[in-house]
Structure 1
Amino acid sequence: MPENQNDPRHLETLDRDLARFSNLEAATSMVGRPMVGVGVSFIFVVMAGLAAMLFFGQASNSYIVIIAAGLGAYMALNIGANDVANNMGPAVGANALSMGGAIAIAVVFESAGALIAGGDVVSTIAKGIIEPERIGTADVFVWAMMSALLSAALWVNLATWVGAPVSTTHSVVGGVMGAGIAAAGFSAVSWGTMSSIAASWVISPVLGGAIAAFFLFVIKSRIIYQDDKITAARKWVPILVGIMAGAFGAYLALKGLKKIIKIDMPIALLIGLAIAVIAWLIMIPVTKKQSIGLENRNKSLKVLFGIPLVVSAALLSFAHGANDVANAVGPLAAIVDVSQSGDFTSAFSIPLWVMIIGAFGISFGLFLFGPKLIRMVGNQITKLNPMRAYCVALSAAITVIFASWLGLPVSSTHIAVGAVFGVGFFREWDAERRLRKARVAMPDRPQYAPEERRRRKLVRRSHFMTIIAAWIITVPAAAIMSGVIFFLISSFVS
């Protein structure tokens, strides 16, 4: 007897089968997403090699430049996946930007910074990390730069996979150092430069965290803890936005315009001061208008910090693209220059097609793999709102200006993540301080057990330890990997 198609039992079986197919499709989609990213990345690396072939296809050593272009593209992808999260993470974590909006802004401003203000002259062999005279021959130099590029890219890739924001600058530095030691021994390394870089491991996050904590203290004491929060905000928000505008103005004048005009620190500070005053005057009526009708509570204050936070994220991306794209394409530019001239002891410039590889690679890496680190920086270290995220962005600009004035080499990654830690630890200190005051005022109030107090910590200690460990081992890990890769390449070509 044929089965009744209208039998309820048949319909239930059909629903279960369709549900299985739906689950299978969902699972296939989830598994397939990472493969799409890997596939697109592979295509981009191949296209970078093809671009190099167009420019150097007739040269006798064109295969070297083609391979180096692929490695530069791979490094740029990893910078986009890891480093850019530091600029966008706070804005996303504070819900001032959606993930899609953050990626779109970062792609535009990172590329603009790289192509408009990037590509200045790169000093010999990664800013004097090793002495070129000790390398020997141009071929040895090329193998050393390729080893540095590959090791740095592999290390940043591994750090992204485990969810640790690391300094791509320090990764390249470690790669160059390791290849230099493998090629010419420990005497080839400029240990004075390396000592300064090692000092920045401590200086960058501590300075960024302290400045971010200070501005959060100002916001809390002058606005949040006031009886009339809206009136206080009308006075202090224009001042804070003026400080931010001035800091970014000085930062971009100092760093972003160096291809067009040489600006020293005093002139940059004067430009920043003028911009700060103008922004302060503009924001007085704007803040007054925005605050009309707002309730006298903390949640209302978030509206006043939303737009400045988005603008700061865009400006940070521009500055990052202008400065850090050289991490991806600096060694590649060195290989291209040496392949053409044979001279590896003088400074070299970055060709436009090499800059385009770096800019597009950073954008693709951010779009394909960036959300993981954006969520880490924005949500998983400590909880951010627009006021706290604003302090992080402001700290990043001021710290770089202050470090440039002192001549200290600092890492944008360490500054931004250190600022997030600073905000989180200040919140813990402030919460503990207010709790002690409450105990004095109400001694009979029940107290939390030690286990409960540890659970209520506002900074996740597991993420803190993972990131600090990754920072400490970045240079030695990249150096060891680079040395091993250099020996493998040397044994293969010899």
Structure 2
Amino acid sequence: MARGTNGNRWSTLDRDLGRVSTLEAASIYAVRPFVGAGLALLFMSVAAIVAALLFGISAASLAVIAASVFAAYMALNIGANDVANNMGPAVGAKALTMGGAIAIAAVCESAGALIGGREVISTVSTGIVDRPEFLETRTFTLVLLSAMLGAAFWLNLATLIGAPISTTHAVLGALVGAATCAAGIYAVHWDRLALIAAGWVASPLAGAAIAAALLALLQRAVIDPEDKIAAAHRWVPAMVGLMAAVFAVYLALRGLPHDARAPSPAEMAAALLAGLAAWAAARSAVRRQSLGLENRKRSLKVLFRLPLIFSAAILSFAHGANDVANAVGPLAAIVQVTASGEPGIEVEFPLWVTLIGAFGISAGLALFGPKLVRLVGDEITRLNPLRAYCVALAAGIIVICASWAGLPVSTTHITIGGVFGVGFFREWDHERRMAKVRGPEKRLPAEERARRRLVRRSHFLTIVAAWVVTVPAAALLAAATFLALNLATG
């Protein structure tokens, strides 16, 4: 009887502990968004404090302090939205865990920002705005502040609705909106903007086409042959070597502080040596990894995992080197205006400004990035290491070609285009193979074909719609911000 009583007593205690545990888990889940927001506010406050310590608190330094807060906010949003494109495929392919992806991206983004992001750049890098319209210091400063805040607002909204968009396009649209509001439509070179916009359409299509072509090549060269392991021994090192050479050329074009559009013969030779060294190292690694693997398709996932991680890491480095300017470029320009009293043609990045961009991007990815990492990697189409590597390599090739031509393109658009290209190729290839088995006279009904689609059309429509409205939406937000700031400071 006592045992039964004790049993009832312990079971009652277990039920009470279960309720407490459930309540605790629910409380943690409910509080989590507020923790991220609180840490983000803390980071922006630290940025303001650093600016105040360096410039003091005066009427002249208020613009720098405000710009530091806006730059920190912008960097957090870049990390939350843009970096998902580099790490999403690797996470979706199960080559990296979410924590591993965040750690690698944080290190590589920060390294790229600090090593390749501090070169002298033009304040208006795309050349679409007439600088003489903004020689008056106050107007110039308000335009930059408005562009930062308008672009950051739009990035924040896009992240909340789960739409990966281009930071570069948001900044460009915000700059156009603020500049037009400040000086009229003639301050913008609309013909140049139209030319750049044509590249925005072409780059995701090119990403889709090249990623699909690479997958078709690997399908025929690695997956279809009877001896898949031997085929992987030939192709995986070659692909790694190509990626290393592409990255070396990219560093020569965009990561190093010089103005040349084309690499010199010495830089091309260095890129070739880097590719050969990577090929040799990958060849040795693939031979070790393939020991004991069965000659089947699943084994290829193991052999392509390391190249995929490598490609994701170098894309994150390149992203940090280039997009840090989107976060802190206007801040650097305002710092120069405050120090010299007039806008300069070129702007030098102080170390503390670069650190705000580097740490902000990393913090934004860790605090708010997992949602879009999952969407890019797993919710558009199903990826494995081989497919994800095709996406990463396609992105690297197109970024190199665009840099060579001096065209501003979006890594977001290229990567997402590559993901869709891989997904649509798989649909086409699956339908083609099934048609051979069934015969053309036994084609499946339209409803069944729709059910078997390998790309989620809802995500496709949402993302494309967000791309289309990014420039006008950011422009309107920046214009409204300029009017508000002009009224408040006038």
TM-score of Structure 1 vs Structure 2, range by shorter chain: over 0.9
TM-superposed deviation, 1:425: 0.9
Partner in structure 2 of residue 484 of structure 1 = 480
TM-superposed deviation, 1:258: 2.6
TM-score, structure 1 as length reference: 0.94
SS in 2 for 1:295: coil
TM-superposed deviation, 1:344: 1.6
Deviations 1:17-73 (A, max 9, x none): 333222211110001111100000000000000000011105541111111100000
Q: What letter matches 1:165 in structure 2?
A: P
Answering whether residue 471 of structure 2 is matched by residue 475 of structure 1, we say: yes
| Conserved? CA contact 2:143–2:175, under 8 Å | yes
Partner in structure 2 of residue 276 of structure 1 = 275
| Conserved? CA contact 2:228–2:296, under 8 Å | yes
Distance 1:291 1:11, change over 3 A: closer
Partner in structure 2 of residue 43 of structure 1 = 42
TM-superposed deviation, 1:185: 0.5
Partner in structure 2 of residue 463 of structure 1 = 459
SS in 2 for 1:129: coil
Partner in structure 2 of residue 451 of structure 1 = 447
SS in 1 for 2:346: coil
Partner in structure 2 of residue 374 of structure 1 = 373
Gaps of 5+ in 2: none
Between the aligned partners of 1:32 and 1:272, the Cα distance in structure 2 is: 49
* From 262, 265, 269, the counterpart of 1:264: 262
TM-superposed deviation, 1:307: 1.1
- Alignment length (residue pairs): 488
| Conserved? CA contact 2:177–2:478, under 8 Å | yes
Distance 1:248 1:485, change over 3 A: same
TM-superposed deviation, 1:280: 2.7
What do you get for the CA RMSD once the two structures are aligned?
A: 2.1
Q: What letter matches 1:342 in structure 2?
A: G
Between the aligned partners of 2:116 and 2:405, the Cα distance in structure 1 is: 23
Between the aligned partners of 1:128 and 1:201, the Cα distance in structure 2 is: 16
TM-superposed deviation, 1:321: 0.8
Q: How does 1:81-480 map to 2 (within 5 A)?
A: 81-135=80-134, 137-258=136-257, 264-267=262-265, 268-440=267-439, 448-480=444-476
Between the aligned partners of 2:260 and 2:193, the Cα distance in structure 1 is: 27
Between the aligned partners of 1:393 and 1:107, the Cα distance in structure 2 is: 18
Between the aligned partners of 1:486 and 1:109, the Cα distance in structure 2 is: 34
Between the aligned partners of 1:158 and 1:60, the Cα distance in structure 2 is: 32
In terms of mean alpha carbon deviation, does 403-412 or 376-385 score higher? 403-412
Between the aligned partners of 1:136 and 1:376, the Cα distance in structure 2 is: 44
SS in 1 for 2:453: coil
In terms of mean alpha carbon deviation, does 449-458 or 33-42 score higher? 449-458
In terms of mean alpha carbon deviation, does 448-457 or 395-404 score higher? 448-457
Deviations 1:367-409 (A, max 9, x none): 1111111111111111110100111111111111112223322
TM-superposed deviation, 1:338: 1.0
Between the aligned partners of 1:14 and 1:142, the Cα distance in structure 2 is: 64
Between the aligned partners of 1:211 and 1:127, the Cα distance in structure 2 is: 26
Between the aligned partners of 1:258 and 1:211, the Cα distance in structure 2 is: 29
TM-score, structure 2 as length reference: 0.95
| Conserved? CA contact 2:173–2:474, under 8 Å | yes
SS in 2 for 1:226: coil
| Conserved? CA contact 2:228–2:295, under 8 Å | yes
In terms of mean alpha carbon deviation, does 453-462 or 193-202 score higher? 193-202
Distance 1:262 1:136, change over 3 A: closer
Between the aligned partners of 2:46 and 2:280, the Cα distance in structure 1 is: 49
Q: What letter matches 1:27 in structure 2?
A: A
In terms of mean alpha carbon deviation, does 100-109 or 402-411 score higher? 402-411
Distance 1:11 1:234, change over 3 A: closer
Q: What letter matches 2:453 in structure 1?
A: K
TM-superposed deviation, 1:146: 0.6
Between the aligned partners of 2:204 and 2:480, the Cα distance in structure 1 is: 30
Distance 1:471 1:358, change over 3 A: same
Gaps of 5+ in 1: none
| Conserved? CA contact 1:242–1:277, under 8 Å | yes
| Conserved? CA contact 2:252–2:263, under 8 Å | no
TM-superposed deviation, 1:197: 2.4
Q: What letter matches 1:491 in structure 2?
A: L
Between the aligned partners of 2:113 and 2:136, the Cα distance in structure 1 is: 31
Identity %, equivalent residues:
55
TM-superposed deviation, 1:274: 3.0
SS in 1 for 2:417: helix
| Conserved? CA contact 1:126–1:176, under 8 Å | no
| Conserved? CA contact 2:301–2:386, under 8 Å | yes
TM-superposed deviation, 1:276: 2.3
Distance 1:124 1:236, change over 3 A: closer
Between the aligned partners of 2:7 and 2:286, the Cα distance in structure 1 is: 63
| Conserved? CA contact 1:196–1:408, under 8 Å | no
| Conserved? CA contact 2:120–2:257, under 8 Å | no
Between the aligned partners of 1:491 and 1:23, the Cα distance in structure 2 is: 51
Between the aligned partners of 1:367 and 1:99, the Cα distance in structure 2 is: 10
| Conserved? CA contact 1:164–1:470, under 8 Å | yes
